[in-house]
Chains A and B, each alone.
Chain A
């Protein structure tokens, strides 16, 4: 599945044909910048491309190459650079620790590169299984699951109905019907427009009328009072009336809106 360029090319042994420094100019890599999933991915790429032994990484070379790409990356995609810069710092730290003289009693296992190598290996393993997962057939993508059609018959029990329920329902119908009837009659008898005229005429003679005086509460039924009120609102909306009140709860006065 994956080519293994590391084969037989470790530490210069059997290292016949490939040039020692497989240097790739950073410009050539510009295209791939998007494709890197992070600093570890970029490091793995560099290690593979340069046929470096992951267990004996030449830190100076790797750090230099890495920094070149990161510089390039910073120039194009600033927001990507954070994680990459952190890795730069880590690489430089490892490099400098390797330069320090080691006390003789400290053995090989104290290699400052160990943690980086562990992380690179773990990441590479994850990267490979991720590819395998991606290639696996999945339901909806390579796996078709049976789902034959059948007619669902519902066996829902109908609810119980008593005589009381029925009576109650009938009462509700009557009640609603009566509302409806009442409303219809009101409309037929009274015209808002008509009342608008009546009010305007009244205001022409009286000029300034208290709001409550416009309603004949004693003689008119509620429907008529409502229509009268609607007429006042309508007149106000059309700008024919001016409704004023000095302060809250004081009498409201209605007058003709004169344009002077």
Chain B
């Protein structure tokens, strides 16, 4: 006996699960909602319909690195932010540049980061990024000292609303573009 074979009801179940979940739901997560085996293709199709259903609403169904989630449409961000006026303190340039190096050049060691930035890495910077769960250690480079190799996490992609690293803003070489003609 199937629990429910009604497509509308399946969609409702996905919807309520997505709306109440505090983290993005993967297809694996969504399969656990049903006792009977539900094909991933079926889930994708239902999610697609769900996305259409919400097209005119204030929330949108988006896909990020670790799954699907509902989030407020961009045009409401300004209003919502007023609810929490004590906005997060901005990260320093050192933190953001270190994050950028890890995101675009991963996996990298501290040495690599120092080579690119031209300054020693402040351990505090790495700690902040690790505490935020944006970076972690993925291995050691097989050179003397076996330095840790850092990479960005799925959580980083989720927080930045990305499905994969390929969606990062392109790293166009500004200098090169401007100065190449003179070469």
Q: How far is the CA of A126 from the CA of B104 in the complex (A)?
A: 8
Q: How far is the CA of A38 from the CA of B171 in the complex (A)?
A: 21
Cβ–Cβ < 8 Å partners of B77 in chain A: 137, 142-144
Q: Are A124 and B175 in contact (CB under 8 A)?
A: yes
- Counted as pairs of residues, one from A and one from B, with CB atoms less than 8 Å apart, the total is 140
Of the A-B pairs whose beta carbons lie under 8 Å apart in the complex, a sample of 18, sorted by A's number, is: A4-B178, A37-B94, A39-B119, A122-B116, A123-B116, A126-B117, A129-B100, A133-B99, A133-B103, A133-B169, A137-B161, A140-B88, A141-B87, A141-B88, A144-B76, A145-B22, A146-B59, A148-B16
Whether A147 is near chain B, meaning CB under 8 Å from some CB there, is yes
Q: Are A37 and B116 in contact (CB under 8 A)?
A: no
Shortest distance between the CB of B85 and any CB in chain A (Å): 13
Cβ–Cβ < 8 Å partners of A59 in chain B: none
Chain A contact residues: over half helix, strand or loop, or mixed? Answer: helix
Cβ–Cβ < 8 Å partners of A121 in chain B: 173, 175-176
Closest B residue to A80 by beta carbon equals B119
Q: How far is the CA of A145 from the CA of B70 in the complex (A)?
A: 6
Whether B10 is near chain A, meaning CB under 8 Å from some CB there, is no
Cβ–Cβ < 8 Å partners of A82 in chain B: 120
Binary B-proximity of A78-101 (CB < 8 A = 1, otherwise 0): 000011000100000000000000
Chain B contact residues: over half helix, strand or loop, or mixed? Answer: helix
Q: How far is the CA of A4 from the CA of B115 in the complex (A)?
A: 26
Q: How many residues of B contact A (CB 8 A)?
A: 53
Measured CB to CB, the residues of A under 8 A from B are 2, 4, 6-7, 10-11, 37-41, 53-56, 82-83, 87, 119-134, 136-150
- Interface residue ranges of B96-122 to A (CB < 8 Å): 96-97, 99-101, 103-104, 115-120
